[in-house]
Structure 1
Amino acid sequence: MEKICKNCNSLFTGNYCNTCGQSAKTHRIDWSFLMEDVEHGILHYDKGISYSLKRLFQKPGEEIRNYIAGKRVGHFRPLSLSIILATVYALIYHLADVKIISTTNSESIHHMERVMKYYSWYVLFTIPVFTFATKTAFKVNWLNFSELIIFEAFKSSQRLVVHILFLPVFYMLSAHPGFISVVNYILITLDFMLILWTNSQFFSHVKLSWVVLKSLVAYLIHTFIILACLVMLVLAGNYFAITII
Protein backbone atom coordinates (compact mmCIF):
# COMPACT_ATOMS: atom_id res chain seq x y z
CA MET A 1 0.00 0.00 0.00
CA GLU A 2 1.43 3.34 -1.06
CA LYS A 3 1.65 6.16 1.45
CA ILE A 4 2.35 9.87 1.20
CA CYS A 5 5.36 11.05 3.19
CA LYS A 6 4.39 13.86 5.57
CA ASN A 7 7.89 15.30 5.31
CA CYS A 8 8.54 15.49 1.53
CA ASN A 9 5.18 14.41 0.05
CA SER A 10 6.74 11.52 -1.89
CA LEU A 11 4.85 8.29 -2.53
CA PHE A 12 6.43 5.22 -0.91
CA THR A 13 5.75 1.74 0.42
CA GLY A 14 7.07 0.16 3.60
CA ASN A 15 7.98 1.64 6.97
CA TYR A 16 10.25 4.45 5.78
CA CYS A 17 10.16 7.01 2.96
CA ASN A 18 12.52 6.06 0.13
CA THR A 19 13.30 9.72 -0.56
CA CYS A 20 13.97 11.32 2.84
CA GLY A 21 13.95 8.35 5.22
CA GLN A 22 11.17 9.56 7.53
CA SER A 23 9.20 6.87 9.36
CA ALA A 24 5.72 6.05 8.12
CA LYS A 25 4.54 6.17 11.74
CA THR A 26 4.14 9.85 12.51
CA HIS A 27 1.50 9.96 15.22
CA ARG A 28 0.23 13.13 16.77
CA ILE A 29 2.51 14.47 19.49
CA ASP A 30 1.11 13.62 22.94
CA TRP A 31 2.40 12.53 26.38
CA SER A 32 3.09 9.04 25.06
CA PHE A 33 5.23 10.52 22.27
CA LEU A 34 7.18 12.68 24.74
CA MET A 35 7.85 9.77 27.12
CA GLU A 36 8.97 7.55 24.25
CA ASP A 37 11.28 10.29 22.98
CA VAL A 38 12.93 10.77 26.39
CA GLU A 39 13.22 7.03 27.01
CA HIS A 40 14.76 6.35 23.61
CA GLY A 41 17.20 9.24 23.91
CA ILE A 42 18.43 8.33 27.40
CA LEU A 43 18.67 4.58 26.77
CA HIS A 44 20.41 5.02 23.42
CA TYR A 45 22.87 7.48 24.95
CA ASP A 46 23.49 5.38 28.06
CA LYS A 47 23.72 2.03 26.30
CA GLY A 48 26.18 3.35 23.73
CA ILE A 49 28.52 4.70 26.41
CA SER A 50 28.23 1.71 28.74
CA TYR A 51 28.74 -0.76 25.87
CA SER A 52 31.87 1.00 24.61
CA LEU A 53 33.36 1.31 28.10
CA LYS A 54 32.62 -2.31 28.93
CA ARG A 55 34.31 -3.51 25.76
CA LEU A 56 37.32 -1.26 26.43
CA PHE A 57 37.95 -3.10 29.69
CA GLN A 58 37.52 -6.59 28.24
CA LYS A 59 39.57 -6.89 25.05
CA PRO A 60 40.38 -3.25 24.19
CA GLY A 61 42.90 -3.72 21.40
CA GLU A 62 40.80 -6.29 19.56
CA GLU A 63 37.63 -4.22 20.01
CA ILE A 64 39.23 -1.05 18.65
CA ARG A 65 40.70 -2.95 15.70
CA ASN A 66 37.25 -4.37 14.94
CA TYR A 67 35.70 -0.89 15.23
CA ILE A 68 38.18 0.54 12.72
CA ALA A 69 37.48 -2.42 10.43
CA GLY A 70 33.76 -1.54 10.45
CA LYS A 71 32.14 -3.40 13.39
CA ARG A 72 30.62 -0.32 15.03
CA VAL A 73 27.07 -1.29 16.04
CA GLY A 74 26.35 -0.46 19.69
CA HIS A 75 29.42 1.74 20.16
CA PHE A 76 29.38 5.40 21.14
CA ARG A 77 31.45 7.66 18.89
CA PRO A 78 35.00 7.60 20.34
CA LEU A 79 35.87 11.32 20.12
CA SER A 80 32.51 12.28 21.64
CA LEU A 81 33.05 9.67 24.35
CA SER A 82 36.41 11.23 25.27
CA ILE A 83 34.89 14.73 25.41
CA ILE A 84 31.99 13.57 27.61
CA LEU A 85 34.28 11.74 30.04
CA ALA A 86 36.66 14.73 30.18
CA THR A 87 33.70 16.99 30.94
CA VAL A 88 32.53 14.65 33.71
CA TYR A 89 36.06 14.59 35.15
CA ALA A 90 36.34 18.40 35.13
CA LEU A 91 32.84 18.81 36.57
CA ILE A 92 33.55 16.52 39.53
CA TYR A 93 36.93 18.21 40.01
CA HIS A 94 35.35 21.65 40.28
CA LEU A 95 32.21 20.75 42.22
CA ALA A 96 34.07 18.71 44.84
CA ASP A 97 37.08 21.07 44.86
CA VAL A 98 39.44 18.13 44.42
CA LYS A 99 43.19 18.67 44.76
CA ILE A 100 45.19 16.52 42.33
CA ILE A 101 48.60 18.17 42.79
CA SER A 102 50.59 18.26 46.01
CA THR A 103 52.31 21.61 45.48
CA THR A 104 51.31 24.75 47.37
CA ASN A 105 52.91 27.00 44.77
CA SER A 106 50.25 29.52 43.75
CA GLU A 107 51.52 29.81 40.16
CA SER A 108 51.43 26.03 39.62
CA ILE A 109 47.93 25.87 41.07
CA HIS A 110 46.87 28.75 38.79
CA HIS A 111 48.14 26.94 35.69
CA MET A 112 46.43 23.72 36.77
CA GLU A 113 43.15 25.57 37.18
CA ARG A 114 43.50 27.01 33.68
CA VAL A 115 44.00 23.52 32.26
CA MET A 116 41.00 22.17 34.18
CA LYS A 117 38.83 25.06 33.00
CA TYR A 118 39.26 23.87 29.42
CA TYR A 119 39.93 20.23 30.23
CA SER A 120 37.79 18.75 27.44
CA TRP A 121 39.73 20.84 24.91
CA TYR A 122 42.98 19.77 26.55
CA VAL A 123 42.03 16.09 26.19
CA LEU A 124 40.94 16.68 22.60
CA PHE A 125 44.35 18.27 21.91
CA THR A 126 46.29 15.36 23.46
CA ILE A 127 44.61 12.76 21.22
CA PRO A 128 46.29 13.83 17.94
CA VAL A 129 49.55 14.29 19.88
CA PHE A 130 49.34 10.69 21.09
CA THR A 131 48.37 9.67 17.55
CA PHE A 132 51.53 11.26 16.17
CA ALA A 133 53.60 9.60 18.91
CA THR A 134 52.11 6.15 18.22
CA LYS A 135 52.48 6.50 14.46
CA THR A 136 56.11 7.56 14.92
CA ALA A 137 57.05 4.84 17.42
CA PHE A 138 55.21 1.95 15.75
CA LYS A 139 55.74 3.18 12.17
CA VAL A 140 52.09 2.41 11.35
CA ASN A 141 51.57 2.46 7.58
CA TRP A 142 48.48 0.24 7.30
CA LEU A 143 46.23 2.82 9.03
CA ASN A 144 45.69 6.45 8.12
CA PHE A 145 46.01 9.26 10.67
CA SER A 146 42.23 9.54 11.17
CA GLU A 147 41.95 5.84 11.98
CA LEU A 148 44.78 6.16 14.50
CA ILE A 149 42.96 9.11 16.08
CA ILE A 150 40.02 6.77 16.72
CA PHE A 151 42.46 4.30 18.27
CA GLU A 152 43.86 6.95 20.60
CA ALA A 153 40.42 8.41 21.39
CA PHE A 154 39.28 5.03 22.70
CA LYS A 155 42.48 4.67 24.73
CA SER A 156 41.97 8.18 26.12
CA SER A 157 38.43 7.26 27.22
CA GLN A 158 39.78 4.14 28.88
CA ARG A 159 42.27 6.17 30.93
CA LEU A 160 39.72 8.86 31.75
CA VAL A 161 37.43 6.28 33.38
CA VAL A 162 40.28 5.27 35.70
CA HIS A 163 41.09 8.90 36.50
CA ILE A 164 37.42 9.60 37.32
CA LEU A 165 37.37 6.61 39.66
CA PHE A 166 40.45 7.99 41.44
CA LEU A 167 38.91 11.44 42.10
CA PRO A 168 37.32 10.30 45.41
CA VAL A 169 40.77 9.09 46.49
CA PHE A 170 42.27 12.52 45.79
CA TYR A 171 39.38 14.13 47.63
CA MET A 172 39.95 12.01 50.75
CA LEU A 173 43.69 12.75 50.66
CA SER A 174 43.32 16.53 50.21
CA ALA A 175 44.84 17.15 53.64
CA HIS A 176 47.80 14.85 52.92
CA PRO A 177 49.80 16.29 49.99
CA GLY A 178 52.50 13.64 50.33
CA PHE A 179 50.01 10.88 49.58
CA ILE A 180 48.65 12.83 46.61
CA SER A 181 52.06 12.55 44.95
CA VAL A 182 52.04 8.79 45.53
CA VAL A 183 48.57 8.45 43.99
CA ASN A 184 49.72 10.45 40.95
CA TYR A 185 52.64 8.06 40.46
CA ILE A 186 50.20 5.15 40.73
CA LEU A 187 47.98 6.76 38.08
CA ILE A 188 50.92 7.31 35.74
CA THR A 189 51.81 3.64 36.12
CA LEU A 190 48.20 2.57 35.51
CA ASP A 191 48.01 4.81 32.44
CA PHE A 192 51.05 3.16 30.92
CA MET A 193 49.81 -0.33 31.83
CA LEU A 194 46.48 0.38 30.09
CA ILE A 195 48.32 1.70 27.04
CA LEU A 196 50.55 -1.35 27.00
CA TRP A 197 47.59 -3.74 27.43
CA THR A 198 45.66 -2.15 24.57
CA ASN A 199 48.69 -1.83 22.29
CA SER A 200 49.70 -5.47 22.82
CA GLN A 201 46.28 -6.58 21.54
CA PHE A 202 45.99 -4.00 18.76
CA PHE A 203 49.52 -4.67 17.46
CA SER A 204 49.28 -8.43 18.03
CA HIS A 205 51.57 -9.05 15.03
CA VAL A 206 54.44 -7.33 16.88
CA LYS A 207 56.55 -9.12 19.50
CA LEU A 208 55.57 -8.19 23.05
CA SER A 209 59.07 -6.95 23.90
CA TRP A 210 58.88 -4.54 20.94
CA VAL A 211 55.37 -3.44 21.91
CA VAL A 212 56.66 -2.55 25.39
CA LEU A 213 59.60 -0.60 23.98
CA LYS A 214 57.58 1.20 21.30
CA SER A 215 54.78 2.01 23.76
CA LEU A 216 57.33 3.57 26.10
CA VAL A 217 58.85 5.60 23.26
CA ALA A 218 55.38 6.80 22.19
CA TYR A 219 54.53 7.75 25.78
CA LEU A 220 57.78 9.73 26.13
CA ILE A 221 57.24 11.51 22.78
CA HIS A 222 53.70 12.45 23.83
CA THR A 223 54.86 13.66 27.26
CA PHE A 224 57.66 15.76 25.76
CA ILE A 225 55.36 17.45 23.23
CA ILE A 226 52.66 18.19 25.83
CA LEU A 227 55.18 19.60 28.33
CA ALA A 228 56.82 21.70 25.60
CA CYS A 229 53.43 23.10 24.55
CA LEU A 230 52.46 23.88 28.15
CA VAL A 231 55.79 25.63 28.79
CA MET A 232 55.35 27.72 25.63
CA LEU A 233 51.81 28.66 26.68
CA VAL A 234 53.00 29.71 30.13
CA LEU A 235 55.86 31.75 28.68
CA ALA A 236 53.54 33.35 26.13
CA GLY A 237 51.02 34.17 28.88
CA ASN A 238 53.74 35.75 31.04
CA TYR A 239 55.09 37.73 28.07
CA PHE A 240 51.71 39.21 27.18
CA ALA A 241 50.96 39.93 30.84
CA ILE A 242 54.20 41.90 31.15
CA THR A 243 53.60 43.67 27.82
CA ILE A 244 50.10 44.75 28.90
CA ILE A 245 51.38 46.02 32.24
Structure 2
Amino acid sequence: MITCKNCGNNFEGNFCNHCGQSSKTSRINLDFLWEDIQHGIFHYDKGIVFSGKSMFLKPGSIIKEYIDGKRVGHFRPISLSLVLAGIYALIYHLLTINLLTSDDKASIELYNKVFEHYYWFVFITIPLISLATALAFRKKSEYNFYEIFILESFKASQRLIVHILFLPVLYFFNSTKSVQNITNLLMIIDFGLILWTNLQFFNKLSWTNVLIRSLIGYVVYFLMVLLLAVVLLLLLGFDMDA
Protein backbone atom coordinates (compact mmCIF):
# COMPACT_ATOMS: atom_id res chain seq x y z
CA MET A 1 0.00 0.00 0.00
CA ILE A 2 1.12 3.55 -0.77
CA THR A 3 0.27 6.56 1.37
CA CYS A 4 -0.68 9.58 -0.75
CA LYS A 5 1.51 12.58 0.08
CA ASN A 6 -1.34 14.92 -0.89
CA CYS A 7 -4.35 13.63 1.06
CA GLY A 8 -2.98 10.78 3.22
CA ASN A 9 -5.16 8.11 1.59
CA ASN A 10 -3.76 4.56 1.38
CA PHE A 11 -3.98 3.10 -2.13
CA GLU A 12 -2.43 0.75 -4.67
CA GLY A 13 -1.34 1.62 -8.20
CA ASN A 14 0.09 4.67 -9.94
CA PHE A 15 -2.53 7.23 -8.87
CA CYS A 16 -4.43 7.95 -5.67
CA ASN A 17 -8.04 6.82 -6.01
CA HIS A 18 -9.16 9.67 -3.73
CA CYS A 19 -7.45 12.82 -5.10
CA GLY A 20 -5.77 11.55 -8.28
CA GLN A 21 -2.18 12.48 -7.39
CA SER A 22 0.58 10.35 -8.86
CA SER A 23 2.31 7.88 -6.56
CA LYS A 24 5.64 8.97 -8.04
CA THR A 25 6.31 12.26 -6.27
CA SER A 26 10.09 12.42 -6.09
CA ARG A 27 12.15 15.34 -4.84
CA ILE A 28 12.10 18.48 -6.95
CA ASN A 29 15.09 18.42 -9.29
CA LEU A 30 16.11 19.62 -12.76
CA ASP A 31 13.86 17.07 -14.51
CA PHE A 32 10.89 18.24 -12.44
CA LEU A 33 11.58 21.90 -13.26
CA TRP A 34 11.94 21.19 -16.98
CA GLU A 35 8.69 19.22 -17.04
CA ASP A 36 6.94 22.03 -15.18
CA ILE A 37 8.28 24.64 -17.63
CA GLN A 38 7.14 22.54 -20.59
CA HIS A 39 3.65 22.02 -19.20
CA GLY A 40 3.10 25.37 -17.50
CA ILE A 41 4.71 27.94 -19.79
CA PHE A 42 4.68 26.26 -23.18
CA HIS A 43 1.59 24.13 -22.39
CA TYR A 44 3.61 21.27 -23.83
CA ASP A 45 3.07 17.77 -22.50
CA LYS A 46 4.54 15.52 -25.22
CA GLY A 47 1.08 15.25 -26.77
CA ILE A 48 1.82 18.08 -29.20
CA VAL A 49 4.52 15.95 -30.85
CA PHE A 50 2.33 12.85 -30.89
CA SER A 51 -0.69 14.72 -32.26
CA GLY A 52 1.39 16.61 -34.82
CA LYS A 53 2.99 13.43 -36.10
CA SER A 54 -0.37 11.67 -36.23
CA MET A 55 -1.72 14.40 -38.51
CA PHE A 56 0.62 13.23 -41.28
CA LEU A 57 0.33 9.46 -40.87
CA LYS A 58 -3.36 8.50 -40.85
CA PRO A 59 -5.09 11.78 -39.96
CA GLY A 60 -8.69 10.80 -40.64
CA SER A 61 -8.38 7.50 -38.79
CA ILE A 62 -6.61 9.13 -35.82
CA ILE A 63 -9.28 11.84 -35.55
CA LYS A 64 -12.06 9.22 -35.70
CA GLU A 65 -10.37 7.33 -32.87
CA TYR A 66 -10.02 10.55 -30.84
CA ILE A 67 -13.71 11.40 -31.27
CA ASP A 68 -14.66 7.83 -30.37
CA GLY A 69 -12.73 8.14 -27.09
CA LYS A 70 -9.10 7.12 -27.75
CA ARG A 71 -7.55 10.36 -26.43
CA VAL A 72 -4.56 9.43 -24.25
CA GLY A 73 -1.34 10.95 -25.59
CA HIS A 74 -3.07 13.58 -27.73
CA PHE A 75 -2.77 17.31 -27.22
CA ARG A 76 -6.23 18.86 -26.99
CA PRO A 77 -7.14 19.83 -30.58
CA ILE A 78 -8.38 23.39 -29.99
CA SER A 79 -5.40 24.21 -27.76
CA LEU A 80 -3.07 22.64 -30.32
CA SER A 81 -4.40 24.82 -33.15
CA LEU A 82 -4.09 27.99 -31.03
CA VAL A 83 -0.54 27.13 -29.90
CA LEU A 84 0.51 26.49 -33.51
CA ALA A 85 -1.22 29.70 -34.66
CA GLY A 86 0.77 31.61 -32.03
CA ILE A 87 4.02 29.99 -33.19
CA TYR A 88 3.20 30.82 -36.81
CA ALA A 89 2.39 34.47 -36.02
CA LEU A 90 5.55 34.86 -33.92
CA ILE A 91 7.87 33.47 -36.61
CA TYR A 92 6.03 35.44 -39.27
CA HIS A 93 6.65 38.70 -37.37
CA LEU A 94 10.27 37.86 -36.56
CA LEU A 95 11.00 37.21 -40.23
CA THR A 96 8.97 40.29 -41.31
CA ILE A 97 7.39 38.44 -44.19
CA ASN A 98 5.09 40.34 -46.52
CA LEU A 99 2.63 38.27 -48.52
CA LEU A 100 0.77 41.26 -49.96
CA THR A 101 1.52 42.41 -53.48
CA SER A 102 -1.18 45.10 -53.30
CA ASP A 103 -0.61 48.68 -52.11
CA ASP A 104 -4.24 49.00 -51.01
CA LYS A 105 -4.21 50.71 -47.60
CA ALA A 106 -7.35 48.99 -46.27
CA SER A 107 -6.04 45.54 -47.24
CA ILE A 108 -2.68 46.20 -45.58
CA GLU A 109 -4.31 47.47 -42.37
CA LEU A 110 -6.66 44.48 -42.16
CA TYR A 111 -3.81 42.11 -42.94
CA ASN A 112 -1.69 43.58 -40.16
CA LYS A 113 -4.63 43.41 -37.73
CA VAL A 114 -5.18 39.73 -38.53
CA PHE A 115 -1.55 38.84 -37.87
CA GLU A 116 -1.41 40.86 -34.67
CA HIS A 117 -4.00 38.44 -33.27
CA TYR A 118 -3.59 35.47 -35.62
CA TYR A 119 -4.57 32.89 -33.00
CA TRP A 120 -7.96 34.61 -32.67
CA PHE A 121 -8.36 34.60 -36.44
CA VAL A 122 -7.72 30.84 -36.48
CA PHE A 123 -10.13 30.37 -33.54
CA ILE A 124 -12.84 32.34 -35.39
CA THR A 125 -12.37 30.55 -38.71
CA ILE A 126 -12.50 27.02 -37.25
CA PRO A 127 -16.25 27.36 -36.53
CA LEU A 128 -16.72 28.67 -40.08
CA ILE A 129 -15.02 25.72 -41.75
CA SER A 130 -16.78 23.38 -39.30
CA LEU A 131 -20.12 24.82 -40.41
CA ALA A 132 -19.10 24.52 -44.07
CA THR A 133 -18.07 20.88 -43.60
CA ALA A 134 -21.22 20.07 -41.61
CA LEU A 135 -23.35 21.54 -44.41
CA ALA A 136 -21.39 19.81 -47.16
CA PHE A 137 -21.65 16.38 -45.49
CA ARG A 138 -25.17 16.93 -44.15
CA LYS A 139 -27.15 13.66 -43.87
CA LYS A 140 -24.03 11.72 -44.91
CA SER A 141 -22.28 11.77 -41.54
CA GLU A 142 -23.14 10.31 -38.14
CA TYR A 143 -21.12 13.02 -36.36
CA ASN A 144 -22.66 16.11 -34.76
CA PHE A 145 -21.42 19.69 -35.23
CA TYR A 146 -19.22 19.61 -32.13
CA GLU A 147 -17.46 16.48 -33.34
CA ILE A 148 -16.99 18.10 -36.75
CA PHE A 149 -15.51 21.07 -34.85
CA ILE A 150 -12.90 18.73 -33.33
CA LEU A 151 -12.20 17.32 -36.81
CA GLU A 152 -11.61 20.81 -38.18
CA SER A 153 -9.45 21.81 -35.20
CA PHE A 154 -7.11 18.92 -35.96
CA LYS A 155 -7.16 19.77 -39.67
CA ALA A 156 -6.34 23.42 -38.88
CA SER A 157 -3.32 22.22 -36.87
CA GLN A 158 -2.28 20.02 -39.78
CA ARG A 159 -2.32 22.97 -42.18
CA LEU A 160 -0.59 25.28 -39.69
CA ILE A 161 2.32 22.84 -39.37
CA VAL A 162 2.77 22.90 -43.15
CA HIS A 163 2.54 26.71 -43.23
CA ILE A 164 5.13 26.98 -40.44
CA LEU A 165 7.50 24.74 -42.41
CA PHE A 166 7.00 26.96 -45.47
CA LEU A 167 7.88 30.19 -43.62
CA PRO A 168 11.63 29.95 -44.45
CA VAL A 169 10.71 29.56 -48.13
CA LEU A 170 8.42 32.60 -47.97
CA TYR A 171 11.19 34.54 -46.24
CA PHE A 172 13.63 33.65 -49.03
CA PHE A 173 11.20 34.96 -51.67
CA ASN A 174 9.96 37.84 -49.49
CA SER A 175 8.51 40.85 -51.39
CA THR A 176 8.98 39.16 -54.79
CA LYS A 177 6.40 38.05 -57.32
CA SER A 178 7.21 34.42 -56.45
CA VAL A 179 5.51 34.86 -53.06
CA GLN A 180 2.11 34.78 -54.73
CA ASN A 181 2.99 31.52 -56.49
CA ILE A 182 3.99 29.99 -53.16
CA THR A 183 0.79 31.12 -51.46
CA ASN A 184 -1.20 29.61 -54.36
CA LEU A 185 0.74 26.37 -53.90
CA LEU A 186 -0.09 26.42 -50.18
CA MET A 187 -3.80 26.76 -51.00
CA ILE A 188 -3.54 23.66 -53.21
CA ILE A 189 -1.68 21.79 -50.45
CA ASP A 190 -4.32 22.90 -47.94
CA PHE A 191 -7.11 21.44 -50.03
CA GLY A 192 -5.05 18.29 -50.66
CA LEU A 193 -4.69 17.79 -46.90
CA ILE A 194 -8.39 18.46 -46.35
CA LEU A 195 -9.34 15.92 -49.03
CA TRP A 196 -6.85 13.30 -47.78
CA THR A 197 -8.15 13.61 -44.21
CA ASN A 198 -11.81 13.63 -45.29
CA LEU A 199 -11.32 10.47 -47.39
CA GLN A 200 -10.16 8.64 -44.26
CA PHE A 201 -12.64 10.26 -41.89
CA PHE A 202 -15.73 9.83 -44.10
CA ASN A 203 -14.58 6.41 -45.28
CA LYS A 204 -18.13 5.07 -45.62
CA LEU A 205 -18.64 7.33 -48.63
CA SER A 206 -17.17 6.85 -52.11
CA TRP A 207 -14.07 8.88 -52.95
CA THR A 208 -15.97 10.85 -55.62
CA ASN A 209 -18.67 11.75 -53.09
CA VAL A 210 -16.04 12.89 -50.57
CA LEU A 211 -14.21 14.86 -53.28
CA ILE A 212 -17.33 16.73 -54.38
CA ARG A 213 -18.47 17.46 -50.82
CA SER A 214 -14.96 18.55 -49.79
CA LEU A 215 -14.87 20.98 -52.73
CA ILE A 216 -18.28 22.37 -51.79
CA GLY A 217 -17.22 22.77 -48.17
CA TYR A 218 -13.94 24.46 -49.14
CA VAL A 219 -15.68 26.95 -51.46
CA VAL A 220 -18.37 27.74 -48.86
CA TYR A 221 -15.66 28.25 -46.23
CA PHE A 222 -13.66 30.52 -48.55
CA LEU A 223 -16.75 32.65 -49.24
CA MET A 224 -17.52 32.92 -45.51
CA VAL A 225 -13.94 34.06 -44.80
CA LEU A 226 -14.25 36.72 -47.52
CA LEU A 227 -17.53 37.87 -45.96
CA LEU A 228 -15.86 37.97 -42.56
CA ALA A 229 -13.04 40.10 -43.98
CA VAL A 230 -15.54 42.60 -45.43
CA VAL A 231 -17.43 42.77 -42.11
CA LEU A 232 -14.15 43.40 -40.25
CA LEU A 233 -13.26 46.17 -42.69
CA LEU A 234 -16.60 47.85 -42.08
CA LEU A 235 -16.56 47.38 -38.29
CA LEU A 236 -13.00 48.68 -37.97
CA GLY A 237 -13.87 51.69 -40.09
CA PHE A 238 -11.45 51.12 -42.94
CA ASP A 239 -11.96 53.12 -46.10
CA MET A 240 -12.99 50.55 -48.71
CA ASP A 241 -12.11 52.98 -51.50
CA ALA A 242 -8.62 53.75 -50.19
Judge same fold: TM > 0.5, yes or no: yes
2:154 and 2:181 map into 1 onto residues whose CA distance is 26
1:175 to partner: Cα distance: 3.5
Question: What residue number does 1:233 align with?
Answer: 232
1:153 and 1:225 map into 2 onto residues whose CA distance is 17
1:47 to partner: Cα distance: 2.6
1:102 and 1:174 map into 2 onto residues whose CA distance is 10
| Structure 1: 5+ residue stretches without partners | none
Question: What residue number does 1:54 align with?
Answer: 53
SS in 2 for 1:45: coil
1:6 to partner: Cα distance: 4.2
1:104 to partner: Cα distance: 2.6
Question: What residue number does 1:37 align with?
Answer: 32
1:186 and 1:2 map into 2 onto residues whose CA distance is 58
1:22 to partner: Cα distance: 2.5
What letter corresponds to residue 37 of structure 1 in structure 2?
F
1:221 and 1:52 map into 2 onto residues whose CA distance is 28
CA contact (8 A) 2:125 2:225 kept: yes
Structure number with the higher helix fraction is 1
SS in 2 for 1:193: helix
Structure 2 counterparts to residues 11-90 of structure 1, below 5 A: 11-15=9-13, 16-24=15-23, 26=25, 33-41=28-36, 42=38, 45=44, 47-90=46-89
1:73 and 1:45 map into 2 onto residues whose CA distance is 14
TM-score w.r.t. length of structure 2? 0.88
Question: What residue number does 1:210 align with?
Answer: 209
1:208 to partner: Cα distance: 0.8
Farther off after superposition, 46-55 or 130-139: 46-55
Question: What residue number does 1:132 align with?
Answer: 131
Query: 1:134-153 CA deviation, whole Å, 9 max, x = no partner?
Result: 11001155112221111000
1:206 to partner: Cα distance: 0.8
Aligned length: 233
What letter corresponds to residue 14 of structure 1 in structure 2?
E
1:55 to partner: Cα distance: 1.1
Which structure has the larger Rg over C-alpha atoms? Answer: 1
Cα gap change, 1:208 to 1:166, in 2 (>3 Å)? same
1:23 to partner: Cα distance: 3.7
SS in 1 for 2:204: coil
What letter corresponds to residue 180 of structure 1 in structure 2?
V
What letter corresponds to residue 173 of structure 1 in structure 2?
F
| Structure 2: 5+ residue stretches without partners | none
SS in 2 for 1:70: coil
Cα gap change, 1:144 to 1:175, in 2 (>3 Å)? closer
What letter corresponds to residue 173 of structure 2 in structure 1?
L
1:197 and 1:206 map into 2 onto residues whose CA distance is 13
Do structure 1's residue 163 and structure 2's residue 169 form an aligned pair?
no
1:26 to partner: Cα distance: 4.5
1:35 to partner: Cα distance: 1.4
Query: 1:163-212 CA deviation, whole Å, 9 max, x = no partner?
Result: 11111121111241x21111111111111111001001111111111111
TM-score w.r.t. length of structure 1? 0.87
How much identity, in percent, do the aligned residues show? 44
What letter corresponds to residue 34 of structure 1 in structure 2?
N
Cα gap change, 1:17 to 1:161, in 2 (>3 Å)? closer
